[in-house]
């Protein structure tokens, strides 16, 4: 049997938000590797082996997936959202670069998924209609000072900012510090959205302003979207507002 490795994006949660290519890779795999809650999102086929892992051991998980593929297994390594956005694909290529030369002959494909910021943006309207960027607030893999520097530079340059990993039990105050830094740069009325568990049964979205935004509202299932001074809110009666950023901008 010829082995392969597919690095599969599962999308934000709902099966309907998963691509047919991702579905095909999951069905064709002999082995599924990933963080346990991601593996729980779909039912295994008979005979498939599940390798549930800890979320922190990214490189070890990547090497394990490469080893399975190199040994003739059809390995699907799964990530939530898109595997290339703050997720496993980079870890695989890092492991590949420093691993045995034989791994480079392996059939490796990245299968994209809908990343959280796109799912959240679609739910809200069109907040990413003009220039935007994505920043992870996790300081597991980079210094916190760099996160703040990038956030303030992006806000100062007029980007809408999609904030991943906004808050966790290990880092309860990061989002508060981020809002404090941003309030020095952006107007108080700048729209801010908290989009939690998008496409999942516990989905919850609120739209507020930078002035009123309460960091306690975010957790690890939340994508925080910070508007630019161009971002607009369309209020509606008995329905949540729409958020959009116009395509055109003043000089
Ligand atoms: N690879 C993933 C991101 C992994 S980082 C992707 O492309 O979406 C994990 C962070 O993604 C979470 O802390 C949260 O900020 C965001 N996230 C993932 N799924 C989400 C969802 N369904 N709704 C809102 N945010 C989500």
The Cα-based distances of 231 to 180, 190, 246 in angstroms read 20, 8, 7
Give yes or no for residue 80 CB within 6 A of ligand 1. yes
Residue range 228-249: mean pLDDT, rounded: 94
Residue labelled with tokens 């607009």: 232
pLDDT at 12 over 80: yes
SS3 content of the chain, % helix, strand, coil (to 5): 30, 25, 40
**Could you tell me the distance, in angstroms and rounded to a whole number, from the CA of residue 2 to the centre of ligand 1?**
33
**Could you tell me the distance, in angstroms and rounded to a whole number, from the CA of residue 136 to the centre of ligand 1?**
10
Which of the residue ranges 21-25, 49-53, 87-91, 115-119 would you say has the lowest mean pLDDT? 49-53
Residue range 135-162: mean pLDDT, rounded: 95
- pTM of the full structure: 0.95
Q: Using H for helix, E for strand and C for coil, what is the string for 145-175?
A: HHHHHHHHHHHHCCCEEEEECCCCCCCCCHH
Q: Rounded CA gap, 167 and 222, in Å?
A: 8
Q: Rounded CA gap, 77 and 83, in Å?
A: 9
**Could you tell me the distance, in angstroms and rounded to a whole number, from the CA of residue 115 to the centre of ligand 1?**
7
Burial label, 145 (beta-carbon count in 10 A; 0-12, 13-18, 19+): exposed
The Cα-based distances of 36 to 17, 19, 42, 106, 196 in angstroms read 19, 20, 11, 25, 20
pLDDT at 198: 98
Q: Rounded CA gap, 69 and 32, in Å?
A: 11
Share of the chain above pLDDT 90, in %: 86
Give, for ligand 1, the residue of 19, 79, 80 to mutate: max count of ligand atoms closer than 8 Å to Cβ: 80
Give yes or no for residue 87 CB within 6 A of ligand 1. yes
Residue range 97-120: mean pLDDT, rounded: 97
Give the residue, by CA position, lying nearest to ligand 1 atom 20: 116
Are the CB atoms for 192 and 226 separated by under 8 Å?
yes
**Could you tell me the distance, in angstroms and rounded to a whole number, from the CA of residue 42 to the centre of ligand 1?**
17
- Single out the residue of 17, 5, 169, 162 nearest to residue 80, CA to CA: 17
Give yes or no for residue 220 CB within 6 A of ligand 1. yes
Give yes or no for residue 12 CB within 6 A of ligand 1. yes
Compare 4 and 46 and report the one with higher pLDDT. Answer: 4
Which of the residue ranges 136-140, 161-165, 179-183, 221-225 would you say has the lowest mean pLDDT? 136-140
pLDDT at 96 over 90: yes
């Amino acid at each position: 049997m010829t082995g392969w490795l597919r690095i599969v994006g599962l999308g934000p949660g709902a099966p309907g938000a998963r691509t047919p290519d991702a579905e095909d890779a999951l069905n064709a795999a002999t082995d599924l590797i990933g963080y346990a809650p991601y593996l729980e999102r779909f039912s295994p086929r008979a005979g498939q082996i599940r390798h549930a892992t800890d979320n922190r051991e990214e490189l070890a998980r990547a090497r394990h997936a490469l080893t399975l593929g190199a040994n003739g297994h059809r390995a699907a390594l799964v990530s939530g959202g898109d595997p290339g956005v703050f997720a496993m694909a980079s870890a695989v290529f890092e492991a590949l670069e420093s691993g045995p030369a034989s791994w480079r002959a392996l059939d490796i494909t990245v299968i994209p998924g809908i990343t959280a910021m796109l799912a959240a943006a679609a739910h809200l309207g069109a907040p990413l209609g003009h220039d935007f960027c994505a920043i992870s607030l996790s300081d597991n893999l980079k210094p916190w000072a760099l996160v703040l520097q990038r956030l303030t530079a992006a806000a100062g340059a007029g980007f809408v900012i999609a904030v991943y990993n906004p808050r966790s039990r290990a880092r309860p105050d990061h989002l508060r510090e981020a809002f404090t830094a941003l309030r020095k740069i952006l107007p108080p009325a700048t729209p801010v959205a908290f989009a939690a568990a998008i496409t999942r049964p516990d989905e919850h979205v609120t739209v507020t302003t930078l002035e009123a935004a309460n960091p306690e509202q975010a957790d690890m299932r939340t994508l925080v979207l910070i508007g630019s001074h161009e971002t607009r809110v369309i209020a509606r009666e008995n329905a949540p507002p729409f958020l959009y950023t116009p395509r055109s901008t003043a000089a």
